[in-house]
Amino acid sequence: VQLQASGGGLVQTGGSLRLSCAASGFILNRPAVGWFRQAPGKEREAVACLSTNNDITYYPDFVKGRFTIASDKAKNAVYLQMNNLRPEDTAVYYCATDLGQSSSYALCHSRPDTWGQGTQVTVSY
C-alpha cells in the first residue's frame, strides 16, 4: 500500500487544519493507522493512532484535546483534525501503518514500516 498525506499549510496560532491520508490499497484492513510528525532537528513522533477494528484511539498528552484521528471506510481515507494549533506543532506530518502493530497504542509506540509522503504544517505566532 502507498500512502499520501495532504492538507497541510500555513495557519496562525489557534487555527485549525484537517489532514487527509489517501491510500493506493485498502488501508483500513490494517490493524492500525496513525499520524506522525517530524520537526526540523527533531525525531519523528506519533501524534495520533487508530485501531481500525474497534476505533480505539491513542494520543500523546501534548495533542490530547486538540487533535482527532478518524477514518472513512467508504473513501479508504484517514484524517487528522488539528485544532488550537501552536507554533510547536510546526512539522512535516506523515500517515503510517504497520501490519505488525495490532493496536493504536502499539502503532504509536513503534517505528511503522509503511509511510506516506508528508505534508508540511506551519503554525505562525
Distance CA 21, CA 34 (A): 10
Q: Does residue 46 carry a pLDDT above 90?
A: yes
Question: Can you give the pLDDT at residue 26?
Answer: 84
The overall average pLDDT reported for the chain is 95
Distance CA 21, CA 1 (A): 12
Q: Does residue 29 carry a pLDDT above 90?
A: no
Question: Can you give the pLDDT at residue 27?
Answer: 82
Q: In the chain, where do the E strands start and end?
A: 3-6, 9-12, 17-23, 32-38, 45-51, 57-58, 67-72, 77-82, 91-97, 114-115, 119-124
Q: Does residue 28 carry a pLDDT above 90?
A: no
